[in-house]
Structure 1
Amino acid sequence: MEAPYMLRHRTIPLATGGKEMPAVGFGTLIPDPVTTKRAVAKALSVGFRHFDCAERYRNEEAVGEAIAEAIADGSVQREDLFVTTKLWNTNHRPERVKAALEASLRRLKLDYLDAYLVHTPYAFLPGDELDPRDENGQVIYDAGISLIETWHALEALVESGRCRSIGLSDITLDKLKEIVANARVTPAIVQVESHPYLPEWELLDYCQANGIVLLAFAPLGHAMEPNLLTDPVITGIADRVNKTPAQVALAWAVQRGTGFLTTSIKPLRIEENFAISALPDQEMVRIRSDISTNVRFNSVVETGVPGFIPRVKST
C-alpha cells in the first residue's frame, strides 16, 4: 500500500512510452528572469522534477540557467527531469514550428524536450510581435492555417527525436476530438485550467479513455474570486487532515488521475505545494459531491489570449 506522502512522487505513464511524467509540476509563468531563476532553483531543491515553460513567458533562459546549474553541481540529472515548453500562437505555420522549437531548446540549454505543446489552438499573425493587434486593439488572427496542419508539424518533431512527446494546451473537448481523429501521433498531454471549481470531468474521462494525460494549470484557482482556498468544503477537509487548503486541492488533482502545475516565488509556498499527501477516500468523494461552484477563471479557450499574462509589446 502506497504511503500517503508518496503522492508527491507519483508519475503518470505517457502514451508515447518511455519516461513517465511527474504528476506534481512547477509552472514558470513568472515575469522577472532573476526571480524565475531563484524560484526554479528552489523548486529543484525541494523535489520538483517537472517544469512547465513557454516561449510566451519570455523567461526560458532563466529556467535553463537554473536547470543547468543544478545538473552541473550534481543535485539532479537531466534524465530525472521532465521539461515542457510551448509553441506560441505566432508560430503555428508549419515552416515556423521547427525553428521555434530549436530556439526554445537553445534558451533552455537542452538537447531535447520531454514534451512540446501547442500553447493555444488559435493562430496569430506570424512574426516577432507576440501579441499582434490591429489599430482597434483587436488580436490579429491567422486564418491561413489550421490546427491540424500545425499538429502535423509537431508530429515531425517527435519523429526527429527533438521532443519525446507532444500535446495541446487551452483546448476544448470538441477541438481535442478533431485532432485525435486526424493525428498520426495522438496527443500525450492536454494542459487546461482545472480545479475543484472547474473539474472538467467529461474531458478527463475522454483523456483517460484515449491514453492522454490531463495536466491542470491554475489548480488553486489562481487566487481569484470566488476563492477556492476559502471554500468551506476545502477548508473543512484541511482541518480534518491537518493540511493546508492548497495541499488539499493539489492532492485532489493527483488522486483523481491528473497532473498539476503550481507556481510561486515564495520559498515556503514552493515547499508547501510539493509536500502533499493522499486524502482519505471519503474526502475525495466529498469534494466531488459537495462543491457546486463552477467557474472558469481564464478565457484563453475562447480567444487564444492567456488571461494570466500581461499584454506587453515585444522588444
Structure 2
Amino acid sequence: MPPKHFTLNTGAKIPSIGLGTWQSPPGQVASAVSYALQNGYTLIDGAYCYANEDEVGQGLAEAFSAGKVKREDIFVVSKVWTTYNTRVEEGLDKSLKSLGLDYVDLFLVHWPLLMNPEGNHDRFPTKPDGSRDIIQGYNHVDTWKQMEALLKTGKTKAIGVSNYSKLYLEQLLPHATVIPAVNQIENHPSLPQQEIVDLCKEKGIHIMAYSPLGSTGGPLLSAEPVVKIAEKHGVKPSSVLLSYHAPRGSTVLAKSVTPERIKENIESLIDLDEEDQAELKAYSDKLVAEKKWQRFVYPPFGVNFGFPDKQ
C-alpha cells in the first residue's frame, strides 16, 4: 500500500490522501466529512471561498462526538481568500469560527492576487462591466508576510500557498523567512506541472494535488495508459489516477459526498510499479512536448500567474 503520511518541512505528518470539499453540494458536506473521518480519512481540505465551512464544521463535530476520532488526529486545511489577502488573520478567524476549531493544521494563500476587499461582494466582487474587481499591482509577498505572522498566534500549525507557479514561487522565496510547507496545485498526468513539482522538492515544499481525475467524465479516465494500468491491477481508472501521486511524494485530494465512493477512493489505492510510473510519465511528457496539456481549474481572474500552459 502507498504511504499513509508524508513529513512536512515543519516536522509535522500530513496524510497522503484527504477529502476535498470544493463544489460539494450544499446539505451534503457535513455528512460526507463525518463519514470520511469515521472511515479512514484523517485530512479534510476546505477554504473560505467554498462557502461551506459551516457544514465542514458540523461534520467535524459529528465525527468527534461519535468518539472514533479526536481533533489531534485530524489534519484540517483552510485557505485565505483573495478578498482577505490584506487582512489574513481576519480571514482565518472567519474560517475557524465556521469550523468550530481553535486552530487549523495548515492555512494556505488560495491565489496570489488581491480582489477588492471593499468591493460589492465578500468573495467575488465585480466591476460595473461584470469582470472581477482585481486590485492591480498588489504584491503577493505582502500577503505572505501576514501569513508568517499567523504562526505566532497558534491559530495555524503551518502555512503554505496554493496555485503558485514556478515564477511566483521564485518571486516569493527570496523574501520568505518561513518557507511554505505546502503548495496545493492542480496535478494529474494531463497537467504534471513538473517544473513546479521539481522546484518544490528542491525547496522542501510538499505538493498537495487537487482535481486528480481532471474533471467529471473527463478524458483522463479513458486515457490509454490509465486504462491499461487499471486493467493490469484489476482496479478502476480513478484508482490509478489517485495512486499516481504517492510515488511523486505528493498528497492527493479525493472529492466525493457519496459514502460508497468516499470509502472506495481510500481503499482502492494501489502501489504503482516502476513500469506503471514510466508509462504515465511518458504520457505526460508527450502532452507537454506537444503543448496539449489540460488544465481544468482556472478562474477568470484575467491575471497571468506564470503557468506555461496559460501563456
Question: TM-score if structure 1 supplies the norm length?
Answer: 0.89
| Alignment partners' CA distance in 2, 1:290 and 1:145 | 38
Counterpart position of 1:14 = 8
* 2:38 match: secondary structure: helix
Report if aligned partners of 1:148, 1:182 keep a CA contact under 8 Å in 2.
yes
Q: 1:250 to 1:15 in 2, by over 3 A?
A: same
Unmatched segments (≥5 aa) in structure 1: 306-315
| Alignment partners' CA distance in 2, 1:97 and 1:197 | 33
Report if aligned partners of 2:47, 2:80 keep a CA contact under 8 Å in 1.
yes
* 1:221 match: secondary structure: coil
Aligned with residue 155 of structure 1, among 148, 155, 158: 148
Aligned with residue 257 of structure 2, among 257, 265, 269: 265
| Alignment partners' CA distance in 1, 2:45 and 2:272 | 25
* 2:28 match: secondary structure: helix
Unmatched segments (≥5 aa) in structure 2: 288-292, 305-311
**How far did residue 68 of structure 1 move?**
1.3
Query: RMSD of the TM alignment (CA)?
Result: 1.8
2:139 maps to amino acid? S
| Alignment partners' CA distance in 2, 1:282 and 1:13 | 26
Aligned with residue 112 of structure 2, among 117, 121, 128: 121
Give the 5 Å matches for 1:133-212: 133-143=126-136, 145-212=138-205
**How far did residue 129 of structure 1 move?**
2.5
State the number of aligned residues.
Answer: 295
CA displacement 1:75-116 (0-9 Å, x = unmatched): 1011111100010010111xx211111111111011111010
CA displacement 1:140-162 (0-9 Å, x = unmatched): 11236421111100100012221
**How far did residue 290 of structure 1 move?**
3.6
Report if aligned partners of 1:120, 1:171 keep a CA contact under 8 Å in 2.
yes
| Alignment partners' CA distance in 2, 1:75 and 1:257 | 28
Question: TM-score if structure 2 supplies the norm length?
Answer: 0.90
* 1:126 match: secondary structure: coil
1:289 maps to amino acid? A
Report if aligned partners of 1:171, 1:301 keep a CA contact under 8 Å in 2.
no
Q: 1:46 to 1:240 in 2, by over 3 A?
A: same
Counterpart position of 2:125 = 132
Aligned with residue 242 of structure 1, among 220, 234, 237: 234
Report if aligned partners of 1:87, 1:118 keep a CA contact under 8 Å in 2.
yes
Q: Give the fraction of aligned pairs with identical amino acids, expressed as a percent.
A: 34
| Alignment partners' CA distance in 1, 2:217 and 2:235 | 21
